[in-house]
Each structure stands twice: as C-alpha cells, then as structure tokens.
Structure 1
C-alpha cells in the first residue's frame, strides 16, 4: 500500500506540488492524470525518493521513504519516462548488472529469466539494447523495474512515443502487473488512463482536483447523470412525459432525426436509475425507444473541465485532495 500525506514541493515561491494526499491499495492500478506541468512527475519522484519533499510524507507498506530510504526503495520498482538503459549492453547483461546494483536476494539466473518471460523479451536477451525498437527498450525498462519483485510499481508516462501496437501491448502488461503489484501510472493521454486504470486521480496546478473510480469520474464531476435516448414520436409529448419522472432534472431534444424520430439528453439525480421509468413512460404514450445509452461526459470533457484554471469547484465542494 502507498500512503501519501500532505505532500508539498516548493521551488522558491512556486509550489510544484501543493499539499496532496491519497492512498493506493495493494493490487490497485491508479492513473495519475494531468496536463503537462501539472506536477505528476514531481509527485512520482517524491514517492520514489528521487527528490525530497518540502513537507509531507510518503509511506510504502508501512515504511516512510525519508526516514528509512534504503529499505523503502527496495519495495519500489520505478520506470521513468526515459528508461535508464545502458544501451551498449545486451539485454541480459544489463538486467544482470541491475540485479547486482539493486542487491536482489533471489536466485539470479532464474529470476532474470522469469522477468524477461513476463515482459516478453526472452528472444531479445542477447541483443544490444541500442539496436532494439523503442517498444522493446520500454519492455527492458519494465524488466529492470520488476527485478526483486517489488510490491509497488511507479510508471511515469510509459507509453510516450510508442506506436499503437506497442501501446496496446504495454497496456496489457500494466493490467497484468496490477494483479500482483500496486501500480501508479502517470499519463496525460486520456485513452491510456481510462483503458488501463481502476481509479483516476486528476492533478492540476499541483493540486488534486478529482479522485474517483474510472467509471464514476464523469458523474462525480458533474454531480448528475445523463441518459441519451433516441425516440420515435411527437417531441413535445416525449419531453413532457420524461419531465414527469421524479428524479429527472432536465430533458432536451438535441437532434431531429428522420421519420418523426429525435435524440434526447436527459439529466437526472446522481445514484438513481431512471431507465425503467423512462421505458414505462414512453410505453404509456406509445412512443417507442429506439436507442438508450449512458450519456455521461466523456473523459475528455471531464479532463478539460477539471484542469481549466477557473474550474476547481469540485475539489472545494467535496472532491478528495
């Protein structure tokens, strides 16, 4: 488990990270999302002990990073944005070197073979690293982070510069690692975060502005839920019937379709399921529902809302920080 309490980093009068707190449970894949310059990498570097905090604490499985750095760092596998590779070594020689440098106590040959097999670089083991593709170099970086089977993995922008096929492979690898490790995965690529992580923390201007399960985040931001409908029938009758449903906040026609059909967006109270009520209401007035789906904000909409400079009301009105 990773526990961050009131972590702050100042550079002169500038607060790169401003009093942030969060906990990551064992086996959880946490996405750390924010625009460039938001404070993601600074936070990662403080969690791993590469830089010290101005104030606050980071605890890894009960061990505080600054009080007991040597033992605490053994519990962390770190993959920075640019993997720390010695490119004139072969893959195997590099991993053997990192194994010795980290003073791993496991059987050397067997453990390195296991790690290479896990990240699927066994066939590249005798190749010189500078001759590998960027995707394979990233895998070698993952392999060094996994040496010693650390319980916590910190991955800073692990898919930057990869092609779509490589991104999919790295995404699958991260999800599989999340079954046995606590993973913190930083990115500003929204699709990567939503496809890979169980939970998302959004950071903007050094502050946490949202913290929620991936599937719940857009609802947490907006404070209400949305339903997108495609219904055949008179629009006035449809809207009138929907507005009579108790939990409905507002209902609007957003697009006129063909054959007396239109699209509607219905906003309703958080935590309520109105789908059955909508179905019954439309059945009563004889207006068939042709399509019904969640209309919550996309992750892109949510990201823009949270990271706009004048939009931090979520944090001030109940968001975790």
Structure 2
C-alpha cells in the first residue's frame, strides 16, 4: 500500500503542490489527471524521490521514504515525461545498464530478457535506441522502470505523443502490468486514462479536488440532479419556444443553467432543454411547464461525460 500524508512542495513562498493526502491499494492502477501546470509531474517526482518535498510523509509498504530511502527507492520504478535513454546503446545493453544501476546482480540478463518480452521489444532488442520510433522508446522507458521488479511504478504522461495505434498498444501494456505493480500514471488525455485506470485523482493548482472512478466522479458532480426535458409548444404560442421554457425553468430555486438540447427525432412542435440543478427539481419543473400549457413529452436524467466532469473540476468548463 502507498500512503501519502500532507505532502507539499514550495519554491520559496510559491506553492507548487499540496497538501496532498491519499492512499493507493496494492495492485491498483491510479490516474493522476490534470491540466498542464496542475502539479502532476512535481507530484510524481516527489513520489519517485527525484525531488524532495517541503513537508509531508510518503510510506511504501509501511516504510518512510524520508527515513529509510535506501529501502524505499528500490521499490520504486519511474518513467519521467522525458525518459533518459542512451541512444547509442542497444535496447538490451541499456536495460542491463539500468539493472546494474539499481544494484541488481547475478542472473540479471535473464530478467532483462523477460522484461524485453513483457514490453514486446524482442524484435528490437539488439537495435540502437536512436533507431526506434517514439512509441518503442516509450516501451524501453517502461522496461527500465520495471526491470528491478518495483512495488510502485510511476509513469509520467506515458501516452503523450503516441499515435492512435500506439495508444491502444500502450494501454494494453500498462494493463498487463497490473497486479505485479501498483501503478500511478499521469495524463491529460481523458478517454485513455479513464479506460486504463481503476481510479482517478483529479489535481488542480497542486491539490486533489476529486477522486474516484469515472462513474463515481460523474455522480459526485450531481448527475442525478441534471435532466433533459422535451415539451410540446402550445398552439398560438407567441414567444420564442425555447426562451419561454428557459425563463420558466430558471425561475425555479436550485436551477443553475438551462441550455438548448436536441429535440426527439420526428417530433414537430417540440423543443428540448438541458437543466443543470443543485436540487432535484424535476417534479416542480414539470408542474410549472404544465401550468404554462406546455405538454411534457419526455424527461430523463442526464449524466456527465468524463470530459465535462474534468472541465468542471478544473474550473475550465466555461472556456471549453
């Protein structure tokens, strides 16, 4: 288990990250999700011991990184956003070198061969790293991070810069590592991180503002209190139909925003509105609409896709 408590990083008086507090269960795949500059890389650098925190505590399997770093660091594998690869080395030479740097002895060549197979690098094992595509260099970066069998694997933007085929392959690779390693990966690619991870931590301005699965985050954003309503416009209605519906609904306490929605196909004289609310106002909304002679022909709850949840949590929904 990974336990983070009140972790912070300051540069002078400027806060970069924190305070962060969260736990990660053994074998879990957790995504650190945030906009550029939110603090993802700084957080991973602290978790990897590459950057000293200003304050706070990090425990890996009950061991304190600050107190016994020599025992904790071998339990951590780290892929930075720009992997430090030696292009003139072959893949195999580099992984042997990385294994020795981590203090591995004995039959390390066998472990290197095993890792090459795990990351599907066999065809390129004896090729110089400089000759590989970006996607395969990322695989080499992951291979060096797992060669010593770490308990905790940290991946900073492992999907960045990959083409669609490589993204699918990388997602499959990361999933294959689940169970053998506890994994924390950062990204701003929402659909890919949601499909890869068991749980998401949303970071904004250096702080965790929400955590949970995609479905749990949507629920936290009051998806059950948002709905779409379709109404038939009364004959002879003189106002603009949607504006009339919007005015009626926005007068209800708890309604935050009313937007135009797509009306049901084939329904003439019907308009639809999406309602975002802090309270469950569906019953009252129907009552008000019926009193104004609108015929309610449909009403359904609406959830929020991860992209909208992410934009709202990071304060960027209006800019999207």
Q: TM-score normalized by structure 2?
A: 0.79
Tell whether 2:259 aligns with 1:258: no
| Inter-partner Cα distance in structure 2 for 1:189 and 1:172 | 16
What is aligned with 2:310?
A: 303
CA 1:216–1:106: 2 relative to 1, 3 Å = farther
Which residue number in structure 1 is paired with residue 240 of structure 2? none
Q: Deviations over 1:214-264 (max 9, x none)?
A: 2211211236355668x8x9589xxxxxxxxxxxx9899833331457767
Secondary structure at 1:104's aligned position in 2? coil
Aligned residues: 282
Moved over 4 A (4+): 225-229, 233-236, 249-253, 260-270
How far the C-alpha of 1:300 sits from its partner, in A, is: 1.6
- Counterpart of 1:113 in structure 2 is 113
Residues 1:172 and 1:78: Cα distance change in structure 2 (over 3 Å): same
CA contact (8 A) 1:106 1:148 kept: no
- Structure 1 residues 99 and 33, CA gap change in structure 2 (3 angstroms): same
Counterpart residue number, 2:188: 188
Q: Deviations over 1:52-104 (max 9, x none)?
A: 11100111111111111111011111101111111100000111111111112
Structure 2 residue aligned with 1:150 = 150
Partner of 2:24: 24
The separation in 1 between residues aligned to 2:97 and 2:301, in whole angstroms, is: 51
The Cα offsets for residues 24-55 of structure 1, whole Å up to 9 and x where unpaired, read as 11111101011111111111011111111110
Distance 1:164 1:255 in 2: 30
Q: Is the CA contact 1:224–1:269 (under 8 Å) kept in the aligned structure 2?
A: no
CA distance in 1: counterparts of 2:301 and 2:90, whole angstroms? 50
1:39 matched to 2:39? The reply is: yes
**Residue 13 of structure 1: CA displacement?**
1.2
2:45 aligned counterpart, secondary structure: helix
RMSD: 3.1
Residue equivalent to 2:289: none
* 1:174 alignment counterpart: 174
Q: Distance in 2 between matches of 1:308 and 1:267?
A: 16
TM-score by length of 1: 0.78
Structure 1 residues 310 and 301: alpha-carbon distance in aligned structure 2, compared to 1, 3 A threshold: closer
Partner secondary structure for residue 262 of structure 2 = strand
Distance (Å, rounded) in 1 between the aligned partners of 2:311 and 2:9 = 25
Structure 2 unaligned segments of length 5 or more: list them: 235-253, 280-295
CA contact (8 A) 2:226 2:274 kept: yes
